[in-house]
């Protein structure tokens, strides 16, 4: 889906497509690829397009930036300059409040079932295992569908298998173009997956319990779902919670800058985040695997979650790399 644009310079010495959202400025290539740049770069390109500035007048570093953008397809000689029309923002907090209300109901329902779990994993029947596996897979697809549907009015998202924190297998919704959207739209795309997931789980519980009552498989599915949703919303995982965190606080490239600082052995806030997040993922997996060997309700619930290939919902965006 091509973003809506308006022509600001019909016949420029240089042509390009640009946009701005909050403090982020960017360029688009002909294939819709996104490149984050500084406001100064966009100003320089506009001056070049109108003829107020010539390439010969550029300092060496600016000329290098221009040549690189031309080579990468973000700038072309002799063409129009177009600005991406930023979509209208939305109200986020009413949706967030409704989600918190639904999530509170789900947590209450899950907590009410913990005390009635058996003390041994051997109590699991084949039917219970099939119930947990089948419902979990469907729920993950519903979750990803929430991200997809929320993104679709603005751009074309895609799904693929990937890893979270470099360790955990995940089903990923690629939302590269989300950077061009207003902040509340980006946050809603992040929350839409957990929102429809919680709604779906409560619907399953209402329909199943109303018709046949609680089964062990359903209990484990509900309890495991709470842990899974909590994981997807935790900002230490590079998934929904991470993007909600960076969009809420206006942060850019925390993970990318953190990895760069870590490789260069530079102590910084982003590098500390990387160390803590990757360590957290490793510790959580270790504790979960150990818990699978234990008896009791907690061990059974964790075993039900980690006995599967864990498909935590994750979304990915382009890093928004900066050109000086």
pLDDT tens column, 173-195: 777 778 788 999 999 999 999 99
Those residues whose C-beta lies under 8 Å from the C-beta of residue 248, and which sit 6 or more positions away, are 187
Q: What is the pLDDT of residue 208?
A: 92
Residue 145 Cα distances to 64, 175, 226, 295, angstroms? 42, 13, 18, 35
C-beta neighbour count of 28 within 10 angstroms: 22
Q: What is the pLDDT of residue 302?
A: 52
Q: What is the mean pLDDT of residues 30-51?
A: 89
Q: How many angstroms separate the first and last alpha carbons of the chain?
A: 29
Three-class SS state of 321: coil
d(CA 19, CA 157): 19
Residues 6, 82: contact at Cβ < 8 Å? yes
Check pLDDT > 80 for residue 82: yes
* Tokens 């495991």, located at residue: 224
Q: What is the pLDDT of residue 164?
A: 54
Check pLDDT > 50 for residue 205: yes
Kindly indicate the confidence band of residue 8, based on its pLDDT and cuts at 50, 70 and 90: very high
As a whole number, the mean pLDDT across the chain is 82
- Give tens-digit pLDDT for 282-317: 777 676 666 656 555 555 555 445 444 344 444 555
pTM: 0.79
* Tokens 């297998």, located at residue: 169
Nearest CA to 142 among 191, 203, 202, 197? Answer: 197
Kindly indicate the confidence band of residue 4, based on its pLDDT and cuts at 50, 70 and 90: confident
Secondary structure of 261-313 in HEC code, one letter for each residue: HHHCCCCCHHHHHHHHHHHHHHHHHHHHHHHCCCCCHHHHHHHHHHCCCCCEE
Kindly indicate the confidence band of residue 238, based on its pLDDT and cuts at 50, 70 and 90: confident
Query: Where do the structural domains in the chain lie, given as residue ranges?
Result: 5-84, 93-316
d(CA 150, CA 185): 9
Q: What is the pLDDT of residue 100?
A: 97
Q: What radius of gyration do the chain's Cα atoms show?
A: 24
d(CA 300, CA 122): 9
User: Residues of the chain with pLDDT > 70: what percent?
Assistant: 81
- Give tens-digit pLDDT for 103-139: 999 999 999 998 888 776 667 788 888 898 899 889 9
Give, for 132, the enclosing helix (H) or strand (E).
Answer: helix 126-151
- The highest-confidence range among 85-89, 236-240, 251-255, by mean pLDDT, is 85-89
CA 64 to centroid of chain Cα atoms: 33
d(CA 82, CA 28): 10
Q: What is the pLDDT of residue 324?
A: 34
């Amino acid at each position: 889906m091509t973003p809506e644009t308006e022509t600001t310079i019909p016949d420029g010495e240089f042509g390009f497509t640009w946009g701005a959202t909050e403090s982020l400025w960017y360029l688009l290539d002909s294939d819709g690829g996104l490149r984050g740049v500084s406001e100064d770069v966009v100003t320089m390109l506009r001056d070049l397009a109108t003829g107020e500035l010539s390439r010969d007048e550029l300092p060496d570093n600016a000329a290098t930036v221009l040549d690189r953008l031309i080579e990468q397809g973000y700038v072309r000689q002799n063409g129009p300059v177009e600005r991406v029309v930023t979509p209208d923002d939305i109200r986020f907090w009413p949706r967030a409040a409704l989600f918190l209300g639904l999530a509170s109901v789900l947590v209450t329902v899950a907590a009410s079932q913990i005390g009635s779990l058996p003390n041994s994993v051997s109590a699991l029947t084949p039917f219970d295992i099939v119930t947990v596996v089948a419902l979990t897979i469907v729920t993950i697809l519903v979750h990803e569908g929430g991200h997809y549907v929320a993104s679709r009015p603005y751009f074309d998202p895609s799904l693929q298998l990937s890893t979270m924190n470099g360790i955990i297998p995940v089903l990923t919704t690629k939302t590269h173009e989300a950077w061009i959207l207003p902040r509340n739209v980006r946050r809603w795309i992040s929350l839409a997956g957990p929102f429809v997931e919680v709604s779906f789980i409560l619907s399953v519980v209402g329909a199943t319990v109303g018709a046949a009552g609680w089964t062990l498989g359903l209990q484990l599915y509900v309890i495991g779902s709470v842990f899974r949703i909590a994981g997807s919303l935790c900002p230490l995982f590079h998934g929904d919670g991470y993007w909600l965190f960076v969009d809420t606080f206006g942060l850019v490239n925390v993970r990318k800058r953190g990895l760069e600082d870590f490789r260069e052995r530079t102590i910084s806030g982003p590098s500390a985040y990387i160390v803590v997040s990757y360590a957290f993922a490793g510790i959580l997996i270790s504790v979960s695997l150990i818990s699978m060997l234990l008896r009791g309700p907690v061990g059974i619930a964790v075993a039900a979650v980690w006995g599967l290939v864990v498909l935590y919902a994750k979304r990915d965006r382009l890093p928004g790399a900066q050109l000086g």
